[in-house]
Amino acid sequence: MRQELLLEFFSEEIPAKLQQKAVLDAKETFVKILHSYGAEFREVNSFISPRRITIQVSFLIQKTRSLREEKRGPKISAPSSAINGFLNANGKDTSDLIERDGYYYLDLATEGLKTRELIGDMIEDFILKMPWSKSMRWYLEKEKTLSAFWVRPIRSILCIYDTEPLEIYIKSVGLTTCSYTFGHRFLSPGKIQVSDFEDYKRKLEENHVMLDYEKKKNCIDKEITKKAASIGLHMLYDIPLLEEVAGLVEWPFVHIGSIDEKFMKLPLAVLSTSMKVHQKYFTLTYAGSVISPFFGTVTNVPGTDVMYSGFDRVLRARLSDAAFFYKEDLDVTLEAFAQRLSNVVFHEKLGSIAQKVDRMMSIANTREEHRTIALCKADLLTQMVGEFPELQGLMGEIYAKAQGEDSRVCTAIKEHYEPVNTNSNLPYTITGARVSFFDKLDTLVGLLGVGLKPTGSRDPLALRRIAFSIVRLLCDFRENVLTDGTLSWYIETLIDAYSEQGIALEHNTIEIVCEFLIDRLKTYIMDKFDIDSEIVDSVIKSFRSLDFDYRKAIVKAQDLKRLIESENFQIIKEAYKRAIGLIERRFANLTVDSICSIQFENPYMMHLQNSISNQETNPRDISIAVKAAEAVLTACDNVLINDENVDIRLNNLRLIKRFVELVNENIGNLEEL
């Protein structure tokens, strides 16, 4: 097509896990580069397959935009060194200087350039700027030096602009751009001449390269589903696996293989994890998620019998290992594994996992909790979890069932890791939820207590995620998790348990932990309920201590958001600010036990007293709060609050202060809103 730019960076295999991000980065990076050259174009598209990243720019105009620019330099009286510096920096000489208003100017306008002549620089820029999370250099025979960084060595670059192939030497990778590409590594290994993107795409298809990643993914999904359905099976849907296998083939061919019957006694999770992690096979099930003795796999070339028997054989070897681990693990009780937890380091500064278990015991209550805690970490020492760390918890549950534990304990063992991620499921059982809370809180208290607070975006111990999970357990679990005391009771008890083990935490650990959790609570409320940061701040500030009811904070934040959007807000805020102004700091310690017992003679103050006691009995009713606010404002306008008589003055202030307290308790701290 006319005015179309087609680039293909043909390399050795790009890791499957990097492809999805790379294809987006490629587009973004190239758009930025086009802008930086003042290029005019309609659209940039990017594509990826295991051995290539392709960029297509449509309607890339032959000339770049001309730029009008005049730049002011030093004063005419400035020393010549300054003037020369100005000239050098802009690549001009004295004859270009323009004098005006006592200053030198330079005319830096540039005429539009021929796009074709800029393409080489754009390619160099792209190679330089494309952000790979992991990249490498290789040796360039022509340059006698190492290449620029790329994910794997680039072997050729296709470049066609405005239907014409361009030959440009790209120094950073020691290659001259060309008019050909290559098809499938094994099915169509030869060179393919290309004239434009349509031609390129069509010829790649003919030569067994599916350029459209989404299409390839869907194709795999559909084919496996279809083949499985034909023998009455379902594919266990697994998007990350689907994405990975799509990134491993240039053209997908699907095969259904079989699992040796003797492995079918293994738990579903074990079979499925072993097949996925080691072999990238899909699990196939009968209706009702019952595992079947079949798997789905994807190959890069059409299958052969010898290939199929290879797949079955590799799986046999893998599953023999898994079956061996399973059998060995079942020979040992979870108690026996748990006894060896003193040899497993939890953290170098915080002792062993056995010590962690002891600390969790100190905040547990029910018998079920104690039993769960005693067993929940034991599976870390099983061979199966050693091989597949992602099965932790799940193996604990399976082995606990096998040794006849109470079913609620078994479930809680699995659940005590939940929620695993920001958005994943919470535990279902109360014991699971509480033990999960104990475990996470112990980690947070210990690590923050020895000063390992994350800095900036660096959070190698994932403390923010742990704290976020705690917030979710406290806010989202259907029951109250804190049944034995407030949050700070749990923290203090853990600190005591640490100290009994001879592990000294910083003296202000409670505050550090509370503040850290509150920080996550803030994010949680902002994101989940779409509430501004200022509103959440004012709610958090309105509590008297760092240990407050998180669920109440959520309710207040939602109420306050609604209030701010209504007309009632202004009057309450005004009254609040006037009241704060009157109380000032010197009366900050003024105590208000019961406003009802105070006797007022002034009718405005009596009215205010009534309004406020009404507010006390109906704390969440905004119309009553508005009436109280009006009464505050009227009283301030008509009464000398700071009466000469000390008793009257203090009583007036007590009443005003009570209003502030009620707003704090039920609405929020409005000082900075």
Partner 1 sequence: MKSFQDIIFDLQKYWAAQGCVIMQPYDTEVGAGTSHYATTLKALGDEYWDVAFVQPCRRPKDGRYADNPNRTQYYYQYQVILKPAPANPQDLYLNSLKAIGFDLDAHDIRFVEDDWENPSLGAAGLGWEVWCDGMEITQYTYFQQIGGIACSVVPVEITYGLERIATFMQNVESHFDINWNGREDDKKLTYGDVLKRFEYEFSCYNFDVASVDMLLEHFNDYEKECQKLLAHNLVMPAYEYALKANHCFNLLEARGVISVTERAGYISKIRTLTKNCCQAWVESLEEEA
Binding residues for partner 1, rule: CB under 8 A, are 12-13, 15-18, 50, 134-139, 141, 146, 151-153, 155, 186, 248-249, 279, 297, 299-301, 303-304, 306-307, 310-311, 313-317, 320, 343-345, 348
Shortest approach of partner 1 to residue 51 CB, angstroms? 9
In angstroms, give the least distance from the CB of 335 to partner 1: 22
Whose Cβ is closer to partner 1: residue 310's or residue 581's? 310
Type and span of the H or E element at 609: helix 603-617
Amino acid identity, residue 382? T
Axis-axis angle for helices 622-638, 646-666 (nearest 10) = 150
200 three-state secondary structure: helix
The residues near 423 (Cβ < 8 Å, ≥ 6 apart) are: none
Residue 136 or 596: the one with the smaller Cβ distance to partner 1 is 136
Backbone angles phi, psi at 169, to 5 degrees: -80, 125
Nearer to partner 1, 177 or 664 (CB): 177
Residue 156 or 411 with smaller CB distance to partner 1: 156
Distance (Å, whole) CA 91 – CA 376: 71
CB nearer partner 1, residue 310 or residue 389: 310
| Closest distance to partner 1 from the beta carbon of 301 (Å) | 6
How many CA atoms are closer than 13 Å to the CA of 454, on its beta-carbon side?
17
Tell me how far, at minimum, the Cβ of 204 lies from partner 1, in Å: 19
Do 379 and 362 meet the contact criterion of CB atoms below 8 Å apart?
Answer: no
Nearest distance from C-beta of residue 437 to partner 1, angstroms:
28
With the CA atoms of 569, 575, 577 and 578 taken in that order, what torsion angle do they form, in degrees rounded to the nearest 10? 160
CB of 147 to partner 1, least distance (A): 8
Cβ of residue 382: shortest distance to partner 1, in angstroms? Answer: 18
Q: Which of 279, 392 has the CB closer to partner 1?
A: 279
Kindly tell me which of 170 and 612 has the beta carbon lying closer to partner 1: 170
Taking every pair of Cα atoms in the chain, the longest distance, rounded to a whole number of angstroms, is 103
3-state class (DSSP) for residue 410: helix
**Min CB(317)–partner 1 separation in Å:** 6
Strands, E assignment, 12-69:
43-49, 52-58
Q: Which two tokens stand for residue 75?
A: 């004063």
- Can you tell me the distance from the alpha carbon of 51 to that of 208, in angstroms, rounded to the nearest whole number? 13
CA atoms of 281 and 248, how far apart (whole Å): 13
> Please, which residue, 116 or 278, has the CB nearer to partner 1?
278
> Which of 11/372 has CB closer to partner 1?
11
Q: What are phi and psi of 234, to 5 degrees?
A: -115, 150
CB of 254 to partner 1, least distance (A): 12
Q: Which is nearer to partner 1, 320 or 618 (CB)?
A: 320
Peptide bond into 240 cis (omega under 30): no
Tokens of 641: 């609050």
Tokens 């998620």 locate to 289
Cβ 13 to partner 1 shortest distance, Å: 4
Q: Closest distance between partner 1 and the C-beta of residue 334, in Å?
A: 22
Spatial neighbors of 248 by CB under 8 A, at least 6 apart, are 16, 50, 280, 298, 300
Q: How many CB atoms lie within 10 A of CB 450?
A: 18
Nearer to partner 1, 307 or 624 (CB): 307
Q: How far is the CB of 247 from partner 1 (least distance, A)?
A: 9
Peptide bond into 419 cis (omega under 30): yes
Of 318 and 657, CB closest to partner 1: 318
The answer for residues whose C-beta is within 8 angstroms of residue 260's C-beta and 6 or more apart is: 293, 312, 315, 316, 319
Collect all residues with Cβ–Cβ distance below 8 Å to 186 and sequence separation of at least 6.
Answer: 300, 301
Q: H helices of 509-645, where?
A: 509-529, 533-541, 550-565, 568-583, 603-617, 622-638
Specify the residue, 187 or 580, whose C-beta has the smaller distance to partner 1: 187
Residue whose token pair is 């105070």: 598
In the bound complex, what is the minimum distance in angstroms from residue 276's beta carbon to partner 1?
A: 12
Inter-residue contact 244 to 213 (CB < 8 Å): no
Give the residue among 609, 603, 615 at the shortest CA–CA distance from 665. Answer: 615
Contact 392, 385 (CB under 8 A): yes
Name the residue type at position 398: I
Residue 652 tokens read as: 């007036």
φ, ψ of residue 160 to 5 degrees: the values are -130, 125
Shortest Cβ distance from residue 266 to partner 1 (Å)?
18
SS3 19: helix
Nearer to partner 1, 308 or 587 (CB): 308
**Residue 283 near residue 234, CB atoms below 8 Å:** no
Write down the least CB distance from residue 622 to partner 1, Å.
Answer: 59
Cβ nearer to partner 1, comparing 141 with 647 = 141
Q: In the sheet where 103-107 sits, what is the strand order?
A: 70-75, 103-107, 98-100
Strands of 508-609, DSSP E: none
